[in-house]
Amino acid sequence: MFLNRDHKNRLVACSQENNDSIRYINPNSIIIDAGYKIEAFAEGIDAPTSILFTDDGGLLIANSGYTSEKPSISRYVNGTFEVIADDFNTPLTGLNIRNGDLYISHKGTITVIRKNGTRQDIIQGLPSFGDYSNSRVAFGVDRKMYFGQGTATNSGVVGTDNLWVFDSPLFHDNPGYFILLNGQNFITKNMMLSVKEDTYTGAFSAYGEANLPFEKRKGIVKASGSILRANPDGSELELVAWGLRSPSYVKFDNGGRLFVSNNGFDIRGSRPIANAPDEFQLISENTWYGWPDYAGGEPVTSERFKPDGGVQPEFLLACHPGIPKRPFATFAPDSTIIGFDFNSYPRFGAVGDAYIAEFGNVTPKTYELAALQYPAVGHKISKLDMKTGSVSTFSINRSGFPTSITHEGGFGRPADITFGPDGAMYIVDMGISARDNLNVILPNTGVIWKVTRE
């Protein structure tokens, strides 16, 4: 997830006072699997995106910057928050630690704060100026640093749903491999002009630039929708895989396999695609995962992906780098799966199972259909049996709806899951949404929930 839209369309809270910003907390509003207990561990947090337990047992909390435009990292000590680092780009998407060095992922950049206190931007210039940003980093057994890089657009074509065009008019998606385009062009009203005039935009091109039949595009390392890796100092950046629309979170399991949560297409923009699932993908090197022409391992030319009353999507690529693998697991459209963790504690449950935070619908204002189309999708914690691939609901509000709608005391926007050194599960809930706009997160309504085995 972690969108980078125009400032008028981000997940930014209104500055005026709003009674909804006082969040009611009640763990009894949440249903959880038998044998578990959930409680509020910390509350009143401003738009948290992730937490991290340090080597010395400390707890760090990342403020995404969505409400304040001032991302920061705080240390949680005895019920209070102390800012220890700031001056990052919005959004700040995640934290990780290696040998005492803290790695911070924020828009277009990866920064390391070393244990001696020095700070360095080790990777800059990532293509995060469109819809989706770069993700947190994860470290493999090869001692390399891995991370996801999101796409500029929903489905490969810049359109009127991409309000970032006003700030970055030449920005567009770039492939990871050499591709040959079919040459379709998509017509929109030219939003760059005050007069009424149409413009034509092709795939993998800047807004208003048309494609000719069978145009070529060269693959680049910093590709849209990719998995990248580098040395821990940021050197030797290389492409691992691409064809992932929004690889919002990456993590290695207990067996050293790399998994990513990847969010599916929306029904919006010049090339809307319906019913695209979210994907939990196992990453293999030198692999194309299907974006922009496949969803959940199926071609978008399948009837199921045609929007109601809309046009059947066609392939953008004249030939494909391969046949994409089916995802390890799929989730309902608009679930917006983000952070996840693998259980390592036998007392908690089956070792190796994954627990995944479902943020819920993030339909932008530029999409005409109401954001309440799928109100009951997401806003929960799912459990993935890594042996069978089956997905089940681990914890959800009793109503099945986000607390922003029902005003019950449960989940708002689950964004991350981390198992602590105490064997408990910690859930990062970014906050509640404004009543009149579910894409707006209200400040200081974030919660960290704690789950233990009874």
14 in any annotated domain: no
Question: Confidence class of residue 361 from pLDDT cuts 50, 70 and 90?
Answer: confident
Please tell me the distance from the alpha carbon of residue 89 to that of residue 72, in angstroms, as a whole number: 9
Q: Is 10 a member of any domain?
A: no
In a domain, residue 353? The reply is yes
CA pair distance 90, 279, nearest whole angstrom: 25
4: in domain: no
Domain with residue 110: its CATH number is 2.120.10.30
C-beta separation of 50 from 136 below 8 A: yes
Q: Which of 242-256, 308-322, 397-411 has the lowest mean pLDDT?
A: 397-411
pLDDT for 5: 39
Nearest to 49 by CA among 105, 103, 8, 112: 105
Per-residue pLDDT, 226 = 98
Q: How confident is the model at residue 33 (pLDDT cuts 50, 70, 90)?
A: very high
Question: Is residue 13 a part of any domain in this protein?
Answer: no
> What is the reported pLDDT for 372?
45
- Residue labelled with tokens 């828009």: 107
Neighbours of 434 (CB within 10 A): 16
What's the pLDDT at 436? 73
For residues 236-241, average pLDDT: 98
Q: What is the mean predicted confidence (pLDDT) over 16-34?
A: 79
Please name every residue paired with 437 in a beta bridge, in sequence order, or none if there are none: 434
From 9-13, 134-138, 285-289, 392-396, the region with the lowest mean pLDDT: 9-13
DSSP H or E segment with residue 187: strand 185-189
Asked if pLDDT for residue 323 goes beyond 50, the answer is yes
Contact between 114 and 226 under an 8 Å Cβ cutoff? The reply is: no
- pLDDT above 90 for 195: no
The CA distance from 285 to 240, in Å, is 5
Which amino acid is located at 87 in the chain? D
Residue 374 lies in a domain: yes
Query: What is the number of other CB atoms lying within 10 angstroms of the CB of residue 8?
Result: 9
Q: What percent of the chain has pLDDT over 70?
A: 92
For the chain, how many structural domains are there in total? 1
**What is the three-class DSSP state of 28?**
helix
The mean pLDDT value for 411-437 works out to 93
Q: Which domain holds residue 333?
A: 19-453
Q: What is the pLDDT of residues 37-76, one digit of tens each?
A: 999 999 999 999 999 999 888 999 999 999 999 999 999 9
Query: In this structure, is residue 1 part of a structural domain?
Result: no
% of residues, the chain, pLDDT over 90? 85
Question: CA 90 → CA 72, 120, 136, 388, distances in Å?
Answer: 10, 17, 13, 38
The mean predicted confidence, pLDDT, of the chain is 92
- For residue 74, which phi and psi values (nearest 5 degrees)? -120, 150
- Look at residues 437, 329, 435, 453 and name the one whose alpha carbon lies nearest to residue 12: 437
Residue for token digits 């019950």? 408
Count Cβ atoms within 10 A of the Cβ of residue 194 and give its class: 0-12 exposed, 13-18 middle, 19 or more buried: exposed
Using CA atoms, how far apart are residues 332 and 280, in angstroms rounded to an integer?
11
Residue 11 lies in a domain: no
Distances (CA, A) of 398 to 18, 33, 183: 25, 12, 49
SS3 state at 135: strand
Q: How far, in Å, CA of 9 to CA of 440, rounded?
A: 9
Q: Residue 123 and residue 119: Cα distance in Å, rounded?
A: 12
Q: Which residues of 29-43 are buried (b: 16+ CB within 10 A; e: fewer)?
A: bbbbeeeeebeebbe
C-alpha dihedral over 270, 274, 278, 281, to 10 degrees? -80
Cα end-to-end span (Å), the chain: 33
Overall average pLDDT of the 126-138 stretch: 98
pLDDT for res 376: 63
Residue 189 reports pLDDT greater than 70: yes
Buried b or exposed e, range 364-391, using 16+ CB within 10 angstroms = bebbeeebeebbbbbbbbbbbebeeeeb
β-pairing, 391-397 vs 380-384, is antiparallel
Please compute the mean of the pLDDT values over residues 361-383 and round it to a whole number: 64
